[in-house]
Structures are given as C-alpha cells and as structure tokens.
Amino acid sequence: MFEAGDEGLLLVFGQGLDAAVNERVQGYGEAVRRAGIPGVRDVVPGYLSLLVTYDAGKIDGDDLRSALAALRPAARAIRPPRHHEVPVCYGGSFGPDLEEVAAKAGLTPEDVVGLHAGQEYRVYCLGFAPGFPYCAELPTVLRLPRRPEPRLKVPRGSVGIAGLQTGIYPLETSGGWHLLGRTPWTVFDWTRPEPARILPGDTVCFRPIAEGEFRQLEAMADSGDGSRG
C-alpha cells in the first residue's frame, strides 16, 4: 500500500501485464466498494493496482489502511464476465489511421484488420473517459506509440490502438490513439442504472462490418432497441 497524497491509497498487486493480477485487483476493488467504508470516495482499478480515495475529514488514513487490510477480496468483480462481439467498420473516415498503421507495420490494411479482429482481448480497466475499456493485449506487430499530437475531437465509437492496448471511445473526446475503425454501439449510457456496457474482466473481440450494417445498427441503437447485451 502506497500513499497517494493525504486522501488516497494505492494498492499494488503485481508487476507487468498479467490477467491473474488484474483479476485480484478487480476482486479487491469490488470488496472495497461493497464494504461501504464511511469516508471512501472512489475505488479505481487499474491494470495492476487499485486507487482508493477518501475524505480525510471522515476517516483517518491509518484506520482506512487497517480496514482495507482486513478485507477479503470478492470472488468476482461486479458481475459474471461477459463476452462482447463488437461490430466495427474499419478504415475510411471511420478509421482514419488504418493506412498509416499498416504502412508503419509493413502490412496491408486488410492484414491490420485481420490481426486486430482476429483475436480476443481482456478488458483490464475502465478510464480516461466514462466507460472507455482498456483492452489487451494487441498483437506485437501492431504496437505503436501514441500519436505525437492528440486529436482534439475523436468521434464517439472510435476504435483505437496504442502500445499493447486497444479501446473504444464512448464519447466524443480528445484522444491520441491510432483510429482503426468505429462501432455503432453505445458503450456508455448515462441514463442506465448500469451505464457501462463493457466491464473489467469481460472479453472483447471485434467483428468487421460494412458501412451499410454500421448505419443499420446505428439507427437501431438510436431508436432504443439496440443490441445491448
């Protein structure tokens, strides 16, 4: 346990990218949230650590340490893991960086799509924007540093890659990842009791779709009978 200022504690569970370590992070995070310790504000899981922030006026840091140390991790995070097959329209205006990524990797755009959509990813944590799933790990040949200058506006639903990660932008935000395509899915919906569609521990794969299907699914999502599941 490391101090993160006078109102935060960082619990570190391991080193490097490791699904088993992340599983413990998620289980512990769930246990802390369920425990409802007065004064705890937020419980934020990362890849290999858990940040617990608190109101120091309501709970002393040492008391919180003891309370956290006494907790037994929950067996499962939030709900049983789900598998998501995320439809993605790759390239063109949906994936403005597909050609460049292909060139840098010495591949054709079709190869990049095949590689990106050809495997399953684990969701390690949510963050950056509400419901943004950090998924890993990307095939080695597709691993590139972030773009040198982030885009000011990345459209909602954009699917990007950076380093060993891939993710989905739930809202229009700025962003520095390479954009390969876009999904018509609503990944985060503020109006739902469970606003995040994809949660840590879930698995994700990407299914290439044509623009026609994208428009169709988008219209269904907008009319409220979208394929949320």
| CB 79, min distance to other proteins, A | 13
Q: Whole-number minimum distance, CB 75 to other proteins, in Å?
A: 17
Q: Is 106 in the site for other proteins (CB under 8 A)?
A: no
Q: In angstroms, give the least distance from the CB of 173 to other proteins.
A: 6
| From 44, 59, 74, 144, residue interacting with other proteins (rule: CB under 8 A) | 44
- Strand segments (E) across the chain: 2-3, 8-12, 40-45, 49-54, 83-90, 121-126, 133-136, 151-154, 158-162, 165-168, 173-175, 178-182, 203-208
Please tell me whether residue 111 binds other proteins under the rule CB under 8 A. Answer: no
Sequential DSSP letters for 2-27: EE-GGGEEEEE--SSS-HHHHHHHHH
d(CA 174, CA 226): 26
Site string for other proteins, 3-32 (x = CB under 8 A): xxxxxx-x-----xx-----------x---
190 binds other proteins (CB under 8 A): yes
Q: Which residues 6+ apart lie within 8 Å of 38 measured at CB? A: 58, 59
Q: Which residues bind other proteins (CB under 8 A)?
A: 2-8, 10, 16-17, 29, 33, 41-51, 53, 56-57, 61, 124-132, 134, 163, 171-174, 188, 190, 195-196
